[in-house]
Structure 1
Amino acid sequence: MLYRTTMDSPVGTLTLVASDEGLVAVLWPDDAPGRVRLAATEDRPDHPVLAGAVTQIGEYFAGERRAFDLPLAPSGSAFQRAVWAALAAIPHGETRSYGEIARSIGRPTASRAVGAANARNPLSIVVPCHRVIGSSGTLTGFAGGLAAKQHLLTHERR
């Protein structure tokens, strides 16, 4: 069973989804249908995983938290999970290119595949896909929109 709640944030109303094992997804207000495939959810803001996620994401936006300490339970292929683990290793306030992520997981020619896995990251903000930029330093696609990506990067550089 999956549970959900919503929370207001500086980048819009986020929908958080959890199982009993951990946080499954953080979804954007205008998230593309099917970007993150989920089973049916039940509204349950008091679920302990969701309550913890709301608290920690709130602390992040308040500038009181730089890393998350939540049980995570994303669903994805082995390659996607490797990319998401590399995203989670990007330090707060820093960025990496798709090529750097590809090299860090031992797949130096897989920049495009890294981009595809990055786009499917179900745990936006918590697993910081917003910290991945183009090799020229430009902002590239982001499920929450480029304005949200810029907001998150600026927030982290303060």
Structure 2
Amino acid sequence: MRVLLPLLWLLSACTLTLEAVYPGHGITGLRTQDTYCTAGNTRLDFAFDLEGRLDGLELLFLPEGFAPHQARPGERYALLAPIHAGRVQGFLEVTPEGEVLAVSLTSPGSLSLGPQGIIVEPLPHRRLWLRGYTGGLRGPYVRAANPVRPESSPHCDPTW
């Protein structure tokens, strides 16, 4: 008993910390089509590779040269739905003025949202940024590899 008492006293001075780590995610290879139409609405295609799983996705369609922390509330769009690993493809429906009319993800699952009325300033060059959410934790911002330039031709067809 005398040996056990000092051991209990030493063990009480020790602290055991357990940290639960929620599985992470990784967004890589984000690309968009190169142009959008200034004469009418454009279905702006994008794609990226997802490692892991997301509970939600934040999309920012910003003027070129702006960083995510400079985004105004109207330049952000959030999707709250599970998105599974693999090649994710989708599109933003945007007006010539930069208003986002809809967002759709077409794979690996299907998610589509109707008009949300997000308005952004009509500056010529723009870039798409994404940030994923998993278990309430935000991942890093991921910038599209290419900017989106305006196309003023009346026969504009910027499909991928």
Please tell me the TM-score bracket, short chain as reference.
Answer: under 0.3
| TM norm structure 2 | 0.24
| TM norm structure 1 | 0.24
More RCO (CA 8 Å, sep 6+)? 2
Q: When you count strand as a share of all residues, which structure comes out higher?
A: 2
Q: When you count helix as a share of all residues, which structure comes out higher?
A: 1
Larger Rg: 2
